[in-house]
Every structure is written in C-alpha cells, then in structure tokens.
Amino acid sequence: MSQWQDVGDTAAFQEDEPRAVTVAGEPVAVVRQGDEFFAVHDICTHEVARLSEGFVEDGCIECPLHQGLFDLRTGQARKAPCVTPVRVYKTRVQGGRLEVQAP
C-alpha cells in the first residue's frame, strides 16, 4: 500500500530550485516547474553526489559532480557519465501542501 508523506508547503519550493527533503528515510530532491512538482532520489547513480545541489535545465536535473543529466519525469539518464536511471517518486498537492509517495 502506498503512503504519501508531507514534505512542506508548496510555497516553499521555488521554480527550478531543487530542494532536499526526506521521504521514508530516503534523501529525495524536489523540483518545482510551474504547478508541477518532480521528485527524484537525491543521490546520483554515477557516484555519490546530491542532485539537489545541481541545476535544472530542459526538464532535467544536472549532477553537480560530473554534470550528468537525469530526466525529471522519468529518471532516465540523459547525459554521460550517467547511464543508470535515478528513482522517481510520485507527487501530489493536498490543500497547499506537497506530498511525495513513499516507496
């Protein structure tokens, strides 16, 4: 059974500025684009770096360590050296609060 976890007021998430949250004990990076919210596992699949410290461009989040890219919607690796997809999480807004689906 899926569980939704509150990660904060939607107003706390700024456009294209990744923010680190914790969902079920896991580090997760959340990105806002307009009224859409994307959540991906916060650790790069290449080595150990926090995607929440990277930039957002063209629907992707860029790893700050070697500039690999992951698609925010699918988690697919879009640029080397990343090849393994990063986990993505579902999000929803409930009464102005953002929730992320726990695995």
Does 102 engage in binding with ligand FES (CB under 6 A)?
no
Q: What 3-state class would DSSP assign to 15?
A: strand
Does 6 engage in binding with ligand FES (CB under 6 A)?
no
22 alpha-carbon distance from chain centroid? 11
Q: Report the C-alpha gap between 96 and 53 in whole angstroms.
A: 25
Kindly tell me which of 36 and 57 has the beta carbon lying closer to ligand FES: 57
- Beta carbons of 29 and 19 less than 8 angstroms apart: yes
CB of residue 18 to ligand FES, shortest distance in Å:
13
42 alpha-carbon distance from chain centroid? 6
Kindly tell me which of 45 and 99 has the beta carbon lying closer to ligand FES: 45
Give me the residues that bind ligand FES (CB under 6 A), please: 44, 46-47, 49, 63, 65-66, 68, 81-82
